[in-house]
Amino acid sequence: PPARDIELKSGNMFYVIRDVADLQLKAGDYVEQLQQTKTELQHAVDLQDHEKLQQTASQLQKQLTGFNQALTAINLKTQEISDIRSNILSANEQVLASPFLNGQVDLSKVDLKKIEQQMVSIQSEMVKLAGMLIQSSSSDRNETSQS
């Protein structure tokens, strides 16, 4: 079997917390930027502003590509967080594959709903991450309070 440099573990809270923190640290900024860009995108479509739309499209493309590189570069230790990373990467890829980001700037065909859904799915993965932190710290507290 090919040697894997790291065996992904499941359930070790220390590693989960570390992975979550790492992912949030390196990915959190991108999520904020994407929110901002999504708003600008909506605005450009509302104004039917082709130039703004093109600028926003290339901005979105750069952000998503950077986001993917940041995500891929993180050395994760746990399966749970690795799965979340895969979900975010695939949501990013779907946005990147949209005709809108590949030169088709026909305003009538820009599928904002679809982009919106991908963004929501990226965000819900980030929320899941935060949830894992809260879960892990509260289960630590429960164990100490019961003794």
Instruction: Check residues 110 and 48 and name the one with the higher pLDDT.
Output: 48
Residue type, 140: D
- Predicted TM-score (pTM) of the model is 0.74
Range 118-125 contact pairs with CB under 8 angstroms and sequence separation of 24 or more: 118/91, 118/92, 118/94, 119/34, 119/35, 119/38, 119/91, 119/95, 121/87, 121/91, 122/31, 122/34, 122/88, 122/91, 122/92, 123/31, 123/35, 125/84, 125/87, 125/88, 125/91
Highest mean pLDDT among 15-19, 97-101, 119-123, 133-137: 15-19
